Amino acid sequence: MAKRTPSYLSALQLIGFVFVCQAAGSVGSLFTFSAIPNWYAYLNKPFFSPPNWVFGPVWTLLYTMMGIAAYLVWKKGKGVSFWFWLQLGLNTLWSILFFGLHNPTLAFFEIILLWLAIFLSIKAFYQRSKTAAYLLVPYLLWVTFATLLNASIAILN
């Protein structure tokens, strides 16, 4: 009979994965918060740019879903994909490039790499846990929208 992980330990492991993903988002937000009133507010933005208050709740939900997805794959005992960790790092880097360096053009080229890493994460996760892969689909869709928004801001400014 296979050993089962106690439920409290599983819950702590899940919380750990969500925490790591939220922490990556928090690092990015260090560059974002100060730039919104001082730089981002003065950029020309496309008509489809959502209000600033939308981004926080959306990203919080997406980072939580990323953490759950990574946990589900890890729980299978096969490790979390290289692509997942790469996309998490690229996600943080995007905030540094866009908001920290005030460089939408460079951030646009980076977000294309981010999109590809998310896509490859979904593909890798699908082999291990379809649920984990599906949890990353809203993230890919949001980053697709963010790519369009980023490109538009780069063009308009």
Q: What is the DSSP string of 40-100?
A: GGGS---TTPPPHHHHHHHHHHHHHHHHHHHHHHHHTTS---HHHHHHHHHHHHHHIIIII
User: Is residue 49 situated within a structural domain?
Assistant: no
Q: What is the domain-level CATH number for residue 39?
A: 1.20.1260.100
% residues pLDDT > 70 (the chain) = 96
Instruction: Tell me what the pLDDT averaged over the chain comes to.
Output: 95
Distance, in Å, from the CA atom of 20 to the CA atom of 32, rounded to the nearest integer, reads 19
Distance, in Å, from the CA atom of 112 to the CA atom of 81, rounded to the nearest integer, reads 19
**Predicted TM-score of the model (pTM):** 0.93
Whether pLDDT at 1 is above 60:
no
The string of pLDDT tens digits covering residues 88-126 is 999 999 999 999 999 999 999 999 999 999 999 999 999
User: Is residue 1 situated within a structural domain?
Assistant: no
User: Is residue 76 situated within a structural domain?
Assistant: yes
User: Is residue 50 situated within a structural domain?
Assistant: no
pLDDT at residue 7, rounded to an integer: 86
The string of pLDDT tens digits covering residues 42-66 is 999 999 999 999 999 999 999 999 9
Rg for the chain, CA atoms, rounded: 17
Number of domains within the chain: 1
Could you list the residue range(s) of the whole structural domain that residue 60 is in?
7-44+56-156
Whether pLDDT at 78 is above 90:
no
User: Is residue 125 situated within a structural domain?
Assistant: yes
